[in-house]
Amino acid sequence: MTFTARDVFAHQSVRELVAAVGAARTPRVTATPTAPEPPRAAAGHRLPETAQLGIDGAGRARLLADLVDAERVEAAGPFQRWGLDRLRHHPRPGLFQTYEAFDLSGADVDVDLLILAWSALVAHHPALRTSLRTHGGQDLQVVHRDATLRVHRQNLSGLGVAEAAREFGRYLTTLGSAPADPELRCQVGLSVFDRGAGAAYLAWNWSYLALDGWSFPLLLADLLALHDGFRAGTPVPLPERPAPALMARWWQERDLTAARSFWTGRLTGGPKGLVGMDRVGHDRHVDQRVWLPADRTASLLRRAARAGLTLHTLVQGAYAIALGRTLGADDVLFATVVSGRADAVAGAESVVGCLFNRLPVRIALDPAADCADWLRAVQTDHAEAAAYAHVSPLDVQRWCGPPDGGPLYDSEIVVENFPFDGRLQSRIADWRPVGNAALGDEALRLTVWPDPALLLKVGYYRDLVSDERAVGLLRRTARVLDTLADGMRRPVADLLAAAGEA
């Protein structure tokens, strides 16, 4: 028998679908439960707990009645709270929306089985069935029992290669134009454009208020295991990862008193952190990129290792130099993205969900300081700040923001370090990337990939940051990193000189 996406919609759940197609075609998904889940009584039903949220009695009944199908309700995470606030008060096209698109022509993959595999993942991973809601002024994440994979399928087989590519491109533009909808019960959308035998375009999209970048390789590994097992007709045991709810409880248990004292002490004094003051052009988001050659990248990483420094620290330092030169300041403020998984609950590194957070980074530029010593101080400061990574940017803004309600900073850096191993990369080597997007609320974001040739990409909104300023920041950062590849026993003044004019 052959089963397609149509079979998915003929059944109300993955469980019904599996029963319909039979074990010979779609094997059972098995797992050994290790993470605690809400108790399921053998005889009778039990409502989800909400006492940990301070919601009891009639309030609990009203909340659960409004949700109808809630399996679990927890407090929203630190960045989820920030994201909900941005979506309410500062929405933008594509805000917090993420997609990855591929040309699967000739690839070793069955598109119909990918759809079935994604359906199984929705049933298996609570994060894919989690919406974000606000109840009585409290931001919540809700795991739903009834969530259906959103599938869009279109036939392009009658179009030529060029016209099919244009049609798919137009669709991706539409896909990335609407802000994320946090109230969707299923946070994954799948789009398939069939182009004839053995040829198809594929895109999947989600909100990164539901799934962070660290989760993507974990999901992809599970997806491919299901796909390959379904094709072979063998059972597919998936690892039972710790539930995101464990992190939600951990966040709730943190004391904000010490965090408030730390951040107010760290951020007083008025460092400069606003790059998005140009107010030019329209709100289109664009990317610019440069590469550090492979030999220079290798030299940079060798010198960093000898000095006991991480790539993340080098990027923080280089961007601080570039930002200081751009703003004419010797005390700068920006944000960095952290995984939110270190020193948290056991197994946090394998949780699928939204755990990442954004931390303010304040760096003083001392021309007389030794580069290596200055960078070690930057690394130490970051380690201290990471102890308060459970604090929402919304709280930091409330405690430390200017009286007029304006932002503390509007740019951030991201150094990608996902657990993306070689086996996973080789498995999708024949999936040709067509496009991707992950739009945030910051005016400008610098993303760095530690490939053999270091890739630096700056993404920015043109109504806030001019091309000249964005490209200048990018090139200055790259020049500072290139200078550090020649050695770190030099004064910081050398890095300021290397940044020079953009």
> Tokens 């004839």 appear where?
196
Dihedral angle, C-alpha 459, 461, 464, 468, nearest 10 °? 50
| Distance (Å, whole) CA 224 – CA 230 | 10
Between CA 462 and CA 459 the distance in angstroms is 10
pLDDT value at residue 96: 95
**pTM of structure:** 0.88
321, two tokens: 């130099």
DSSP state of 126: G
Q: Which residue has 């198809």 as its token pair?
A: 200
What are the tens digits of pLDDT across the range 233-279?
999 999 888 889 888 989 988 889 999 999 999 999 888 999 986 55
Question: What is the model's pLDDT at position 204?
Answer: 94
Distances (CA, A) of 274 to 327, 329, 405: 8, 11, 14
Mean pLDDT in consecutive groups of 10 residues from the start of the chain, 502 residues? 32 39 37 42 72 91 92 96 95 93 94 96 95 94 94 94 95 90 94 92 95 92 95 92 89 92 93 77 85 97 97 98 96 95 81 95 97 98 94 96 90 88 86 93 95 94 93 97 96 96 56
CB atoms within 10 A of CB 108: 13
Strand (E) or helix (H) holding 479 = helix 467-484
Question: Which overall architecture, per CATH, does domain 5-247 show?
Answer: 2-Layer Sandwich (3.30)
What pLDDT score does 435 carry? Answer: 92
Domain map (residue ranges) of the chain: 5-247, 255-499
Pairwise CA distance, residues 251 & 482, whole Å:
39
Q: In 3-state terms, what secondary structure has residue 241?
A: coil
Determine the pLDDT at residue 345.
Answer: 80
**DSSP secondary structure letters along 270-327:** --B--------S-S-EEEEEEEE-HHHHHHHHHHHHHHT--HHHHHHHHHHHHHHHHH
Q: Which two tokens stand for residue 288?
A: 């610019």
> CB count, 10 Å around CB of 261?
12
pLDDT at 8: 34
Convert the pLDDT of each residue in 309-340 to its tens digit: 999 999 999 999 999 999 999 999 999 999 98
Residue 501: the pLDDT is 63
Judge whether 5-247 and 255-499 match in fold: yes
HEC letters along 46-104:
CCCCCHHHCCCHHHHHHHHHHHCCEEEEEECCHHHHHHHHHHHHCCCCCECEEEEEEEC
Question: Are the beta carbons of 204 and 100 closer than 8 angstroms?
Answer: yes
| Whether 434 contacts 246, CB under 8 Å | no
Fold entry, domain 255-499: Chloramphenicol Acetyltransferase (3.30.559)
